[in-house]
Amino acid sequence: MAIYARFAKLFMATKGLHEFWFGMARDEARHVGALHLAATVLELEGKLDQPSPIRLDEATIRHMRKLLADCGNAVDGEISVERALAMALEVEESELEDLVSDLLKALQEGDEYNSCMRLLVHDLGELSYMIEQHCQDDPALLQRCDTLVNRHAENLCGGAAHRAS
């Protein structure tokens, strides 16, 4: 969320980019809110100190901290729109989104899971569009993003089909 908010500030002069980055930051804030809600429910049910329903290993934590630190360090100065979009894709490709969705699923928070997944697919679609517009020299970047959009869209559609049956 903080990285995307920094990008919104860095690209303030370009209306479409500023709005895109601000929207990404806003949607990440909603994900944070969903996690706080889940933590509050667990605390009220006396389950907050129980073992987690998802596995989170030290290697994943180290990888995420490094990735986020690298992104944070990179946005302290000037950055090209191409690099900013590539960094956003690196964050979105990370295990973090999968862990959030796995946690919401494990906690039986179906509505929150669906809401977060819809936001994620929307944001990834927007990211794909921005990559297409600003990174014509890097078709592999667009392909990576489109693959990610499709994977999460299939997960969302598969989950909806499973609940309907």
Q: What is the pLDDT of residue 19?
A: 96
Buried (b) or exposed (e) across 36-71, using 16+ Cβ within 10 A?
eebeeebeeeeeeeeeeeeeeeeeeeeebeebbeeb
Q: What is the chain's pLDDT, residue by residue, as a tens digit (165 residues)?
A: 888 998 999 899 988 999 999 999 998 888 788 778 778 877 888 877 888 777 777 887 888 888 778 777 776 667 889 989 999 998 888 877 777 777 777 766 667 778 778 888 999 999 999 999 999 999 999 999 999 999 989 987 875 444 443
Owner of token pair 């592999």: 140
pTM of the model: 0.81
Spatial contact of 133 and 31, defined as CB atoms under 8 Å apart: no
Q: What is the pLDDT of residue 17?
A: 94
Within 10 Å of residue 73's Cβ, how many Cβ atoms?
9
Domain ranges of the chain: 2-164
Tell how far CA 118 is from the center of its chain: 11
Q: What is the pLDDT of residue 109?
A: 60
The whole-angstrom separation of Cα 100 and Cα 3 is 18
